[in-house]
Amino acid sequence: MISGVLKKFFIEEPVNMLFFNLQSSKTIFKLSDIFNELHEVGVVILIGLILLHVFAVIYHHVFLKDKILKKIL
């Protein structure tokens, strides 16, 4: 996520991109902390959405007995 890259950038850690490295010349801890929080919240939301989709497929397959799993696979 971009928030993880910005978190590292603002604490002067080198950010390894595909063909080049980025590194800030000035540490800004407040921005780093904000992007760290955004990163952690984003990860939790992403995991929650993935689990929601997995449970929705299981619900459709087990309880509704429709062929959604065959369509996915």
Under the phi-then-psi rule, with left for phi > 0, alpha for psi from -120 to 50, and beta for the rest, what region is 11?
alpha
Q: Give the domain range for residue 36.
A: 2-72
Q: Which amino acid is at 41?
A: V
Q: How many domains does the chain contain in total? A: 1
pLDDT, tens digit, 9 for 90 and up, residues 4-55: 888 888 888 888 888 888 888 888 899 999 999 999 999 999 999 999 999 9
Q: What is the pLDDT of residues 35-45, one digit of tens each?
A: 999 999 999 99
Report pTM. Answer: 0.72
